[in-house]
């Protein structure tokens, strides 16, 4: 059944026999090997249209753009159905769900069995990272969803290019994905880091189904990174160019739906643009970081596209994202307008009526939400107007500063600088944020989300903190680590800081600190800018507001430390002693 097409594309016997084995399990009507060509894109688009999996948008206004509506029970990551399957349960730690590998293969195998009858099986070879980069990894995803293939085309370097990179090697992540019947009761996202394998069944949603992204680049990636001496992080990467033309690259870890895409594409506010500042996007969600021979940490973006949150993306908040999604973009769970364009909450000039994300007639006047809060766009990174000339550099870019941050209505000031790598690791390890619509479950509940990796770390998080500490010992010139919070609110729950492009002001202070300048005040938690240290040229914000944004309240921090302990207690013996001693030192500073 496989013969003709496979032989043309690859002679890799490891790959060919694995695909044959999976086809025997899933029993598709046909196996299609994807080469990544333009002709293939056209053909698959037509097939997807024919089964109403996607809807053609206005090709004059939005060439190459299509809309997909998910099954309403399948619109976000399902963390309770996501498992790490290692021989020993303690290796996944207290923050991951565990399943015994044989049990997982048996259980999911039962669901996969015969599940592709009447459908085609697509084989997608892909690279995470720039082609020919020694930092890149090859994966091969099998799927029965054309929507998934079309997304993978945008999000990864796929097809022939990946087979060329793989050659005859057996070193690739085996990614099996099937929609089965999209039944949430038969949905499992299982990772087998010890086998370099991922099996995902019963969902066609982004992070559950585009297996190169969270599953490979973060869960399997973090596991491989620990073995091989690098880091896989839920971080954006951006370059900040000063008026002299010098560029500092920084990375930032914020939990899902907490502003990575927006920060990665921000436009300098007028006051700073006039002075000559520019921002360059390298990546918006994931960074792979390695110690370089020069003692610095170097980062690549393993992805080739953006799977961004649509809701909230507007002319005012993120004009670069809007320019990026003018063409060749897939939209998921947004409003379809009368003239076959798209809209979502937070996008200016709403239409009076349209079809909502569930496919039902919708009017603006109804006050109902038209787009799902986790609606998304999938767009090629190369279309971003501020994409960095370095974004595909196989060596990556050197990182000067790293930022941790989340949604905190209180406690965390706008920015503070940690004292060193070890203290920064502690600050990342104790990050907290209010939950969002990116995953199913309650929204707005504060939870610990270390390094924004809580749902994405492929092994015991205690060991992960240890890995951070060990990387710090290997780099002579570590980036400075900061913590930011764009989401502090007033007594009415209104955001105090204007955010978006204005965030550049805060990053510039951090870069001044990297360069040994920038005025700072010592506080128990770290160094905070003095009231006049942040460049506010052209921004109208009161002195009182700034003072409150930068305030460090001792009583709030003492309570924060108590709540950190509840999280630490889960790790029992596996929390590095350095993390505990950093917390003790902070407690002592707060008491002084
Ligand atoms: P994932 O793709 O889920 O990982 O999300 P992300 O971290 O890339 O978040 P994104 O940039 O898409 O922003 C998520 C939401 O936060 C959107 O609704 C934004 O409008 C909002 N947001 C982003 N940056 C800011 C900010 O600086 N201030 C405020 N108040 N909201 C922001
Ligand atoms: C996230 O939830 O952090 C995302 C979207 O970036 S997903 O690909 O679904 O994980
Ligand atoms: Mn993300």
Tens of pLDDT along the chain (592 residues)?
455 455 679 999 999 999 999 999 999 999 999 999 999 999 999 999 999 999 999 999 999 999 999 999 999 999 999 999 999 999 999 999 999 999 999 999 999 999 999 999 999 999 999 999 999 999 999 999 999 999 999 999 999 999 999 999 999 999 999 999 999 999 999 999 999 999 999 999 999 999 999 999 999 999 999 999 999 999 999 999 999 999 999 999 999 999 999 999 999 999 999 999 999 999 999 999 999 999 999 999 999 999 999 999 999 999 999 999 999 999 999 999 999 999 999 999 999 999 999 999 999 999 999 999 999 999 999 999 999 999 999 999 999 999 999 999 999 999 999 999 999 999 999 999 999 999 999 999 999 999 999 999 999 999 999 999 999 999 999 999 999 999 999 999 999 999 999 999 999 999 999 999 999 999 999 999 998 999 999 999 999 999 999 999 999 999 999 999 999 999 988 999 999 999 999 999 999 9
* Ligand 1 atom, smallest distance to 285 CA: 4
List Cα–Cα distances, 577 to 51, 339, 478, 571, in angstroms: 56, 60, 21, 12
- Each domain of the chain, given as residue ranges in start order, spans 6-33+76-228, 233-301+391-591, 305-383
Cβ(256) – ligand 1 distance below 6 Å: yes
Q: How far is the CA of 592 from the centre of ligand 3 (A)?
A: 39
Question: Measured from the CB, is residue 213 less than 6 Å from ligand 2?
Answer: yes
E strand spans, 168-294: 173-178, 188-192, 197-201, 231-233, 235-241, 247-253, 278-283, 287-291
Give the number of whichever ligand sits closest to the CA of residue 260. Answer: 1
Question: Of the candidates 51, 21, 197, 23, which has an alpha carbon nearest to the alpha carbon of residue 115?
Answer: 23
Rounded CA gap, 148 and 120, in Å?
13
Rounded to whole angstroms, how far apart are CA atoms 582 and 426?
7
Pocket lining: 345 vs ligand 2, CB cutoff 6 Å: no
Report the C-alpha gap between 84 and 104 in whole angstroms.
Answer: 10
**Ligand 1 pocket, residue 260 CB under 6 Å:** yes
Ligand 2 atom closest to 309 (CA)? 5
Q: What is the pLDDT of residue 572?
A: 84
Q: How far apart are CA 446 and CA 449, in angstroms?
A: 9
- Catalytic positions are 258
User: What residue's CA is closest to ligand 2, atom 10?
Assistant: 207
Q: Which ligand is nearest to the CA of 309?
A: 1
**Looking at ligand 1, which atom is closest to the CA of residue 262?**
11
Cα-to-centroid distance, 80 and ligand 2 (Å): 15
What the block records as the tokens of 224 is 């491989």
Which ligand is closest to the CA of 77, given by its number? 2
Residues in the chain: 592
Could you tell me if the CB of 500 is within 6 A of ligand 1? yes
> Which residue's CA is the nearest one to ligand 1's atom 26?
499
Identify the residue whose C-alpha is closest to ligand 1 atom 4.
Answer: 256
Q: Are strands 330-332 and 66-68 parallel, antiparallel or unpaired?
A: parallel
Q: What are phi and psi of 446, to 5 degrees?
A: -70, 130
Distance (Å) from CA 249 to ligand 1 centroid: 20
360-394 burial, b at 16+ Cβ within 10 Å, e below that, comes to: eebeeeeeeebbbbbbbbbbbbebbebbbebbbee
Ligand with an atom nearest the CA of residue 440? 2
Residue nearest to atom 22 of ligand 1 (CA): 259
433 lines ligand 1 (CB under 6 A): no
Counting atoms of ligand 2 from 1, which one is nearest the CA of 214? 10
How many whole angstroms from 309 Cα to the centroid of ligand 1?
8
Domain 233-301+391-591: state its class. alpha beta
In the numeric block, the tokens 């600190």 are attached to 513
**Ligand 1 contact, 498 CB (< 6 A):** no
Q: Which of 189, 214, 308 to mutate to test the pocket of ligand 2 (most atoms within 8 A of CB)?
A: 214
Q: Which atom of ligand 1 is nearest to the CA of 313?
A: 20
Domain 6-33+76-228 fold is Phosphoenolpyruvate Carboxykinase; domain 1 (3.40.449)
How high is the pLDDT of residue 5?
Answer: 58
Binding site membership of 285 for ligand 2 (Cβ less than 6 Å): yes
Q: State the fold for domain 305-383.
A: Phosphoenolpyruvate Carboxykinase; domain 2 (2.170.8)
Say how far apart CA 174 and CA 176 lie, in whole Å. Answer: 7
Q: Is residue 137 in contact with ligand 2, taking CB distance under 6 Å?
A: no
Write down the pLDDT at residue 573.
Answer: 87
């Amino acid at each position: 059944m496989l013969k003709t097409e496979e032989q043309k594309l690859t002679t890799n016997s490891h790959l060919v026999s694995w695909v044959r084995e999976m086809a025997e399990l899933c029993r598709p009507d046909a196996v299609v090997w994807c080469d990544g060509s333009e002709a293939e894109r056209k053909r698959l688009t037509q097939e997807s249209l024919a089964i109403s999996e996607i809807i053609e948008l206005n090709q004059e206004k939005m060439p190459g753009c299509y809309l997909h509506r998910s099954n309403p029970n399948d619109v976000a990551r399902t963390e309770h159905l996501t498992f790490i399957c290692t021989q020993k349960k303690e290796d996944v730690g207290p923050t991951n769900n565990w399943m015994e590998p044989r049990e997982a293969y048996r259980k999911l195998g039962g669901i996969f069995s015969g599940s592709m009858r009447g459908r085609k099986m697509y084989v997608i070879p892909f690279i995470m990272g720039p082609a020919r980069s020694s930092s890149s990894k090859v994966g091969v995803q099998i799927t029965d969803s054309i929507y998934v293939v079309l997304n993978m085309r945008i999000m990864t370097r796929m097809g022939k290019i990946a087979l060329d990179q793989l050659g005859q090697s057996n070193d690739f992540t085996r990614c099996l994905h099937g929609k089965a019947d999209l039944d949430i009761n038969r949905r499992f996202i299982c990772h087998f880091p010890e086998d370099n394998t991922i099996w995902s069944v019963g969902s066609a949603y982004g992070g559950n189904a585009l297996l190169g992204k969270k599953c490979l680049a973060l869960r399997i990636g973090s596991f491989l990174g620990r073995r091989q001496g690098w880091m896989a992080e839920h971080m954006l990467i951006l370059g900040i160019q000063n008026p002299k033309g010098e560029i500092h690259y920084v990375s930032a870890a914020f939990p899902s739906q907490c502003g990575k895409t927006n920060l990665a594409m921000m436009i300098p506010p007028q006051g700073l643009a006039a002075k000559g500042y520019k921002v360059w996007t390298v990546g918006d969600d994931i960074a792979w970081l390695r110690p370089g021979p020069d003692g610095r940490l170097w980062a690549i973006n393993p992805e080739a596209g953006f799977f961004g949150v649509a809701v909230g993306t507007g002319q005012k908040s993120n004009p670069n994202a809007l320019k990026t999604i003018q063409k060749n973009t897939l939209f998921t769970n947004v409003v379809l307008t009368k003239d076959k364009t798209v809209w979502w909450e937070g996008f200016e000039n709403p239409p009076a009526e349209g079809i909502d994300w569930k496919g039902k007639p919708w009017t603006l006047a109804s006050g109902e939400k038209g787009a799902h809060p986790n609606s998304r766009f999938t767009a090629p990174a190369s279309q971003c107007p501020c994409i960095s000339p370095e974004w595909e550099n196989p060596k990556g870019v050197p990182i000067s500063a790293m930022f941790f941050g989340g949604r905190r209505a209180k406690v965390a000031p706008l920015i503070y600088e940690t004292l060193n790598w070890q203290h920064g690791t502690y600050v990342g390890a104790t990050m907290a944020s209010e939950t969002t619509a990116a995953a199913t479950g309650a929204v707005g509940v504060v939870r610990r989300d270390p390094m924004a990796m809580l749902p994405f770390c492929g092994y015991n998080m205690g060991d992960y903190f240890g890995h951070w500490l060990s990387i710090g010992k290997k780099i002579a010139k570590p980036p400075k680590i900061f913590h930011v919070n764009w989401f502090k609110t007033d007594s009415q729950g209104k955001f105090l800081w204007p955010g978006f492009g204005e965030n550049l002001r805060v990053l510039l202070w951090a870069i001044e600190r990297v360069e040994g300048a920038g005025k700072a005040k010592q506080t128990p938690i770290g160094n905070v800018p003095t009231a006049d240290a942040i460049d506010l040229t052209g921004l109208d914000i009161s002195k009182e507001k700034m003072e409150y944004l930068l305030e460090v309240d001792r009583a709030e921090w003492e309570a924060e430390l108590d709540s950190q302990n509840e999280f630490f207690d889960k790790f029992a013996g596996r929390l590095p002693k350095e993390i505990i001693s950093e917390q003790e030192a902070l407690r002592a500073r707060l008491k002084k």
